Amino acid sequence: MTRLSVNINKVATLRNARGGNVPDVALAALRCESFGAEGITVHPRPDERHIRYADVRELRPLVKTEFNIEGNPLTGSFIDLVLEVRPHQVTLVPDGHDAITSSAGWNTVEHREYLSGLCRLFRENGIRTSIFIDPVPEMAVGAALCGADRVELYTAAYAEGYAAGREKAIAPYLEAAVAARAAGLGLNAGHDLSLENLGWYVRTIPWTDEVSIGHAIISDAIYMGLEETIKAYLGEIRKK
């Protein structure tokens, strides 16, 4: 069954806009878990404009579900942080230091040597490694050759095309997901998934291990409340 990991970056963005510790990032993570979330995701960036490295250190002993850290390993401090806190999963994302949000996946063929070294390093430290990729079968096969445990499919294009035609929008994702499964990889998905498009995605690709959702959940929580929002997302995942 697909697991829901809540990305709490936007909680930190709100806190940082005002200063102080309101809203409390750690408390938000614990509440997400108590409301049914099956994982917590954070994506620290070098400028710490939302999740700070100190948040990651505070959260690690508190999170009782799965702890997933996303980020660009080209920043040495990111690798050091992951090795220090040892999350259940690290997701390697090739975003620039000044990116507003993630905008593309890895070319796992071009960067095979580099990614292979990282996968080996994290495996030796007991950390599952997922590589963020575009929905291209060749990139899934490449990730397997790098030694990754999973891939996370970058779902922005799916979300953008959903309203115009969901079958067409999901077709490349299904193809890449089949390739990932054939290569022996676990499968995650994330970016712009929402209550509108999540159910169709997981029903079409039911072997998706995990979806990571942040912006939509925190936005919906403004109107619905955090508990009801998480229940609604879990309902979409589990709908037959």
pLDDT at 15: 97
Residues 179/143, Cβ–Cβ less than 8 Å: no
- The model's pTM is 0.94
Q: Is 97's pLDDT higher than 90?
A: no
DSSP state of 45: -
CA-CA distance, 237 to 117, in Å (whole number)?
34
Residue 27, C-beta contacts closer than 8 angstroms, at least 6 positions apart = none
Residues 133/154, Cβ–Cβ less than 8 Å: yes
Q: Give all domains of the chain, ordered by start, each with its CATH number.
A: 3-238 (3.20.20.70)
Q: Which residues pair with 70 in a beta bridge?
A: 91
pLDDT tens for 10-29 read 999 999 999 999 999 999 99
The residues assigned a catalytic role are 43, 70, 191
The closest of 102, 109, 100, 175 to 141, measured between CA atoms, is 109
pLDDT at 99: 47
Give the residue with greater pLDDT, 240 vs 181: 181
CA-CA distance, 223 to 53, in Å (whole number)?
30
pLDDT at 100: 45
CA-CA distance, 54 to 51, in Å (whole number)?
8
CA-CA distance, 182 to 191, in Å (whole number)?
23
Half-sphere exposure of 172 (CA within 13 A, CB side): 18
CA-CA distance, 154 to 195, in Å (whole number)?
17
The closest of 204, 203, 201 to 189, measured between CA atoms, is 201
- The predicted model gives 157-175 an average pLDDT of 98
pLDDT at 102: 54
- Average per-residue pLDDT for the chain: 95
